[in-house]
Amino acid sequence: MNDSTALDLALPDTIEQRLGAPRPIVLVLGSTYEEATAPTLDRLGCRRITTTTANAMDVASGLGNFSFVFIEPDTIGDEDGVYLIRDLHALSPNAKIVLTGAASSLDSKVLVEAMRAGVSDVVDPTDAIALSTTVDNSLVAADARAERVLAIGAHPDDVEIGCAGALLDHRRRGDSVSVLTMSHGQVGGDVSQRVQESTATAQTIGARLMLANLPDTRIDSGVDTIQMIECVVQAFDPTIIYVHSKNDNHQDHRAVHIATISASRRVPQIFAYQSPSATNDFAPTKFVAIDEVVVRKVEVLSLFDSQRERSYLEPEMVIAGARYWARNLAPRARYAEPFEVIRSMSAPPTRSAKPVTAAAPLAPVMPINDGQKVPT
């Protein structure tokens, strides 16, 4: 079964959706109830990964994000089990820890230890209805509180260089991430290879991937580009957008920045990332700590094999840049990514039932002086 969901966005023919959203991951510690839980988890579209407690951290570290951890009662029978659950929760802070077992068969000591470890639910794995309800309700709640993040770049590797750390951290926290690349990067290498590399990096990050095919080095900021981006914004309804800075020597990067600003007037948060071609006028005021994911960012960038001669993709350069920008967060972080703040408005991530349209009044118009003539 695929690791991604169906291609679920309604997009124009000019934009190809290469990858759907990743399926929710359920990390199952122990195989006692694997056969009982499998049908329900499969029906809900979850990706099941079964492992032992001894290997749990190694497996979980490679996932980046998981929605649930199913544990058996004997997992929390000692301090090591309690610490394991806490460590897993640190890797994926919004993951639900579910204790599998009929509540009537669990003694009070086990339940107390479960609470200490951070267990959020107890479910009988043989009760398909209870299991389905627990998982489904948790997924709905997680989707409602998650940020919807859209990262836009002119070429394959632009987004990953500029903000892969932030995207990986969004995924670690359970946010939904999509990447829109406006060209296939024809000038920079073999098109099929670059598309394959983009697909591989999106899978590693855990992101949807959408590809347009505008002419490399000749992208403009006109109405066609604006409408392409606007279609994606309407379909995905992002709460956060990451895009190129206007302070960039590459004409494609500047064009994508301008078009994105025009296409996303109602998006509450827009941040501009740094590219290797950024000018000295790039002036970040937002810094995202990426200590938890900096190694994975290096791994993501290593997938761009066609660009391996580029010095800015060397691991030493990536790490050095992250260390440099982290000076703005010291001593709270050792690695960071920089962003210019284009727009930052507080807004709930939940979707509006009735989106505001241009024709809808934003507020009632009230006479300022209540009809009284203003004295001169």
27 and 68 Cβ atoms separated by less than 8 Å: yes
User: With bands split at pLDDT 50, 70 and 90, how would you rate the model's confidence at 118?
Assistant: confident
Q: Does pLDDT of 212 surpass 80? A: yes
Confidence of residue 338 (pLDDT cuts 50, 70, 90): very high
Q: What is the rounded CA–CA span in Å between residue 229 and residue 271?
A: 16
Q: What is the pLDDT of residue 375?
A: 53
The pLDDT of residue 1 is 44
133 part of a folded domain: yes
Distance between CA atoms of residues 333 and 209, nearest Å: 30
- Indicate whether 47 belongs to any domain: yes
Query: What local confidence, expressed as pLDDT, does residue 10 receive?
Result: 83
- pLDDT greater than 80 at residue 286: yes
319 residue type, one letter: I
Does some domain include residue 214? yes
**139 and 158 fall within a common domain:** no
Is 362 among the domain residues?
no
Burial 98-108 (b: 16+ CB within 10 A, else e): bbbbeeeeeee
User: Which of 94, 111, 143 represents a domain boundary (last residue)?
Assistant: 143
Over residues 280-286, the mean pLDDT reads: 98
| The pLDDT value given to residue 354 | 47
Here the CATH number for the domain that contains residue 25 is: 3.40.50.2300
Q: How many domains does the chain have?
A: 2
Which of the four pLDDT bands, split at 50, 70 and 90, describes residue 353? Answer: very low
Predicted TM-score (pTM) of the model is 0.87
Residues 194, 183 contacting (CB under 8 angstroms)? no
DSSP of 250-262? -HHHHHHHHHHHH
Q: What percent of the chain has pLDDT over 90?
A: 72
Domain boundary among 143, 173, 204: 143
pLDDT digits (tens, 9 = 90+) for 292-327: 999 999 999 999 999 999 999 999 999 999 999 999
- On whether residue 183 sits in a domain, the answer given is yes
Q: Quote the pLDDT of residue 171.
A: 96
Q: Are residues 158 and 284 in the same domain?
A: yes
In angstroms, the CA 307 to CA 196 distance is: 13
Its domain, for residue 92, covers 15-143
- Whether residue 323 sits in one domain with residue 281: yes
pLDDT at 373: 57
Q: Are residues 80 and 151 both part of a single domain?
A: no
Nearest alpha carbon to residue 18 among 187, 201, 238: 201
Radius of gyration of the chain (CA): 23
Whether the link from the prior residue into 348 is cis, omega within 30° of 0, is: no
**Least confident residue range of 25-29, 214-218, 364-368:** 364-368
Verify that 134 and 152 share a domain, yes or no: no
Residues 176 and 33 in one domain: no
Same domain, 111 and 194: no
Tell me if 2 is assigned to some domain: no
Instruction: Identify the residue with better confidence: 231 or 81.
Output: 231
Asked whether residue 128 falls in the same domain as residue 255, the answer is no
- Residue finishing a domain among 88, 114, 143: 143
- The rounded mean pLDDT for the chain is 89
Give the CATH number for residue 226.
3.40.50.10320
Tokens of 284: 């970040």
173 and 243 fall within a common domain: yes
Same domain, 336 and 264: yes
Judge whether 45 lies within some domain. Answer: yes
Does residue 375 lie in a domain region? no
pLDDT greater than 70 at residue 369: no
- Judge whether 241 and 140 are in contact, CB under 8 Å: no
Question: In this structure, are 291 and 209 located in the same domain?
Answer: yes
Q: Are residues 139 and 205 in the same domain?
A: no
pLDDT in tens, 119-171: 888 999 989 999 999 999 999 999 988 999 999 999 999 999 999 999 999 99
pLDDT at residue 204, rounded to an integer: 95
> What is d(CA 267, CA 348) in angstroms, rounded to the nearest whole number?
12
pLDDT (tens digit, 9 = 90+) per residue, 242-261?
A: 999 999 999 999 999 999 99
